[in-house]
Structure 1
Amino acid sequence: MKVIDDGVIKYDRSNFSPCDGLAASEFQNLEYWRKKLYQMNLIGEYPEAKVGFGNMSVVQDYSEFTECSHPQFVITGTQTGKYSDLDGTHYTRVLDYEVDRLKIKMMGSIEASSEALTHAAIYAANSNIKAVFHIHSNEIWLQMLADGSDKTCASIPYGTVEMAHATMKCISNKDAGVFCMHGHEDGIVIYGRSLEEAGELTNKLYKKYVQSELQVSL
């Protein structure tokens, strides 16, 4: 069975405030894109290991709950990849964070995705970025590595301070783009100035590496 390096929360979980599910207005635009990615099998669950993969977030103003010096956001909750549709109980507010201390302040009826620290690092590094998608695809991941695409170091695991710093280096001063997580098998990150831009970049990746491969095999 394939060894899955995913799903385990590594950030400090002590600042989680349980509450009722989020209102639809907080996540419905994000859910629109999540459904598309789920249907493309870029978000889901590894069936043998029963471990979910893929997570998504979008910048959201939560200053009514906590004042924060960097962008706040809403993100899919931990281990929600297996569900075809999410509701307010599957999303979490990220109110504040300290990347170098692995600290995340969050509020929801579920804890934030195990990759929340990577999302936080991207938003903290560039306030022009408004949406982050973390997908899984072995086909895309392998071909991006072969193509020499932007990537993090193979020795850096997900959910760590080192990955957060590597992520910041990957995006550099770019407001939109993609990179693969060399040390996190199948993991790819897409970021953009809007959900629509991140979605279009994801579609381009899929058409380039997955659909073209299907056409060749036919």
Structure 2
Amino acid sequence: MKVIDDGVIKYDRSNFSQCGALLADEYEALEYWRKKLYQMNLIGEYPEVHIGFGNMSTLRDYSCYHSNTHPQFVITGTQTGKYADLNGLQYTRVLDYQIDQLKIQMMGAIEASSEALTHAAIYAANPNITAVFHIHSNEIWKKMIEDKSDFTCESIPYGTVEMAHATQACIKNKDSGVFCMHGHEDGIVIYARSLEEAGSLTVSLYQKYMN
């Protein structure tokens, strides 16, 4: 059986404020693209082990809940990949973070995706980036490696401080792009200046390698 390196939360979970469902206008634009990626099987669940894959986020201003200098965002909750549709109970607000301490301050009915730290690192690295998609596809992942696409090293696992820093080094000064995670099988990240641009990059990636 394939060993799945996904789904386990590695960040400090002590700063989670549980509350009711998020309002629809906080996540509906993100959900529009999530549905498309779910239908393309770029977000979902590995059936043999019942572990979800794929997560998405977009910038939001949550200074009314917590004021800080870090970009804030809304992200899909942990282990929600198996659902075709998400609602406000399955999205989470990320209010603050300390990357080197693996700390995330979040608010919602569910904890943030296990890869929330990677999203945070990307937003912190470049203020022009407003959307991050993390998808899974073994076929696309392998072909991106063959094509020598941008990547994070094989020795670096997801959800760690090392991955956060490697991600920042990978994107450098680029406002949009894609890269694969050599140390996180099937893992691919798309980042862009808008949800629409991130969606377009994802569809282009799919068409390039899956058709």
What is the TM-score when the length of structure 1 is the normalising length? 0.96
Measured after TM superposition, the shift of residue 130 of structure 1 is 0.0
Counterpart AA for 1:42: L
Query: Does the residue aligned with 2:45 lie in a helix, a strand or coil?
Result: strand
Query: Does the residue aligned with 1:81 lie in a helix, a strand or coil?
Result: coil
Measured after TM superposition, the shift of residue 114 of structure 1 is 0.1
1:10-159 to 2 correspondences below 5 Å: 10-159=10-159
RMSD between aligned alpha carbons? 0.3
Query: Does the residue aligned with 2:12 lie in a helix, a strand or coil?
Result: coil
Measured after TM superposition, the shift of residue 25 of structure 1 is 0.4
Distance, in Å, in 2 between the alignment partners of 1:69 and 1:195 is 22
Distance, in Å, in 2 between the alignment partners of 1:82 and 1:68 is 33
Does residue 194 in structure 1 map to residue 194 in structure 2? yes
Larger helix share, 1 or 2: 1
Distance, in Å, in 1 between the alignment partners of 2:80 and 2:59 is 19
- Structure 1, unaligned runs of 5 or more: 212-218
Measured after TM superposition, the shift of residue 68 of structure 1 is 1.5
Distance, in Å, in 2 between the alignment partners of 1:207 and 1:80 is 25
In structure 2, the partner of 1:214 is none
Query: Does the residue aligned with 1:169 lie in a helix, a strand or coil?
Result: helix
- Structure 2, unaligned runs of 5 or more: none
Q: Percent identity?
A: 77
Distance, in Å, in 2 between the alignment partners of 1:68 and 1:200 is 31
Distance, in Å, in 1 between the alignment partners of 2:196 and 2:154 is 30
Measured after TM superposition, the shift of residue 47 of structure 1 is 0.2
Distance, in Å, in 2 between the alignment partners of 1:87 and 1:7 is 20
In structure 2, the partner of 1:215 is none
Distance, in Å, in 1 between the alignment partners of 2:145 and 2:101 is 30
Query: Does the residue aligned with 2:56 lie in a helix, a strand or coil?
Result: strand
Distance, in Å, in 1 between the alignment partners of 2:150 and 2:23 is 36
Number of residues of Structure 1 aligned to a counterpart in Structure 2: 211
Query: Does the residue aligned with 1:202 lie in a helix, a strand or coil?
Result: helix
| Structure 1: 4+ residue segments shifted above 6 A | none
Measured after TM superposition, the shift of residue 27 of structure 1 is 0.1
Distance, in Å, in 2 between the alignment partners of 1:81 and 1:4 is 14
Measured after TM superposition, the shift of residue 70 of structure 1 is 1.5
Query: Does the residue aligned with 1:89 lie in a helix, a strand or coil?
Result: coil
Query: Does the residue aligned with 1:166 lie in a helix, a strand or coil?
Result: helix
Counterpart AA for 1:65: Y
Query: Does the residue aligned with 1:74 lie in a helix, a strand or coil?
Result: strand
